[in-house]
Homo-oligomer: A and B are copies of this chain.
Amino acid sequence: MAKNKYNQAVWSKRIKKKPSLLFQEIGSSIDVDKRLFREDIMGSLAHIEMLNKQKIITSKIKNKISKGLNKIEKEILKKKFLFNKKYEDIHMNIEKRLFQLIGDDAGFIHTARSRNDQVITDFKLWTKSSTKKLDKKLNKLIKTILKIAKHNVKIIMPGFTHLKNAQPVSLAHYLLAYVEMFQRDKKRFFNNLESLNENPLGVAALSGTSFNIDRFYTTKKLGFKKPTNNSIDTVADRDFVLDFLYAVSVCSLHISRIAEELIIWNSDGFNLITLQAKDLSQQLI
């Protein structure tokens, strides 16, 4: 069983000398990835429950770790957790604290698991939850536009080509164009869910583990739909992040477009609308 002394860096076995402070600064990602704390703890909990079910660790150890992790989550939520750049990322910060709280048994959270599959699992869980949040926001936005459109079917405005008056259109028709765009944005986020629902946990460093793990158990526990197929692909796959970022980018383009159009409509040249925070809908009625 692998154990990390809790005051050493991960790579301290290979490189003996202490790194410079600058290196520590560059190597640390804790400022960014501390937002993954919920997913990291959730992943570890599912993992040790599976280890226990498979009789790889005892119930006693499982309970000890579980108690420790729950305590850490509370500390973080209460802002009483001290994030340390020296421990590089959220995974190591939580792990080091777990060693402090429960001693060497903390090392069992790495039985049959590598930091590699741990990181991807956290990242996927976070991306999936962000995807769902954005989907809800898009639903609300679409609903709002539909409501405004409904009240403005008979308001006639100029349709422009290159900002020259071209054809008269209904304001409702104009606004419904954005419903189409945001519906496409929703689909882009939705299409990424297929990958986001494949469980990476269990692929270990790159080629799995010799322990008798049960990937279907953690799959169910963590809300995934099935385990990923190929460990070598899984360990390096960040397509789900690219797809997420791409969906965000195109959606931002659409939002930027409506913002630009409101600026033009509100300009002293066109003077089609009067802006008032929160009240665009009422005022357009």
Contact = CB atoms under 8 A, between A and B. Distances in A.
Interface of A: 14-20, 23, 158-169, 173-174, 176-181, 184, 187-188, 191, 194-195, 205-207, 228-234, 236-237, 239, 242-243, 246, 250, 263-264, 266-271, 275-279
B207 A23 contact: no
A179 B14 CA distance: 29
What 6 A-B pairs are tightest by C-beta distance, nearest first? A269-B269, A163-B267, A269-B270, A177-B233, A177-B232, A180-B233
Nearest to A179: B230
Number of copies: 4
A8 B15 CA distance: 50
B15 A275 contact: yes
Given A19-B278, A173-B207, A173-B230, A269 B266 contact: no
Interface centre among A20, A23, A164, A165 (most CB of B within 10 A): A164
A278 B229 contact: no
A276 B17 contact: yes
A184 B263 contact: no
Contact of A159 (B188, B195, B232): B232
23 contacts: A14-B275, A18-B277, A19-B277, A19-B278, A162-B263, A163-B263, A163-B269, A165-B268, A167-B206, A167-B207, A173-B232, A174-B232, A176-B233, A177-B232, A178-B233, A179-B230, A180-B228, A180-B229, A180-B237, A191-B191, A242-B250, A243-B250, A269-B271
